[in-house]
Chains A and B, each alone.
Chain A
């Protein structure tokens, strides 16, 4: 799901920021890591996931994921800030 043109135009004006991403379950396996620090210009988690999906062989589309920022469920459209801890949450299956 590539960002729309409007969204990319906005994105280009956003300065790069340093943040961390944690991976769990299938995403952890497909990213080959539990966590990473990175610098991104992605304005929201949606663009960040697209950026990561271009780098790793992710098979889960954003439609089946949820996103958390700084330990709390968040929206895909929430603006990212420097220092954020972002987690993409695969479909859960506890119990």
Chain B
């Protein structure tokens, strides 16, 4: 037990140090990639709440990232500062997510998946067709990076710290919420809604909350996505993006705090290391996901946990003898 904690602590510390020293040894493109990882991980964290903890299958997270990104881009174009725009993105997504939660009160599982899928398609069509607002297929470019207290986050390195900082913030908040009774309420929602309801858990409120918070987090991720990529177009937020976020959450480990970070790393950072796979990366990735699902549907974190549990059991068995 103690050794597992030690391993985990060391791992966390090393990760933090490596990330902090990033700009020292990473090239700009790698800084960009790690920033993109952080942003994607935030989006996946939101989905992890809805899906992993509350058990509501959502294929709409990509759409929320899109809504958040466009909100920030458009508000900044209209002259608002980054931070108010960022906040507005989260609030808007919270509200829309709350509304999207209503169907979840009536239907579950694959039905719900399709309601959210329909929503994603609608958002995509709106972004594409309402050119007066979103500039349609031509997209929005030239989005400024934020300035805080006179400090500009314009360069790759500074914006890298900015993204990582915000990610850490969300990770902390998520951790806090999950270990609070709210987290337990979300989980009982997933486990047995009928029993939960009879124990006074207001399943309607928690379902809507799970959707709204998850979506808001997605919106915040979008709020970072816009200044990071500095170019928005509807295609980035089509169904494929939502699906890949879904894959990330599951691959990392749904219902584990760090699952989304791992999942996003696999989808975003790993291809960079596996350059030799070039055109076949997606093929290999898909195959790997299938193997993982067959072998350990709890994802990579679940896998490592199982490995640790086995080791512990072996140690304990050894101790007995």
Report whether chain A binds chain B. Answer: no
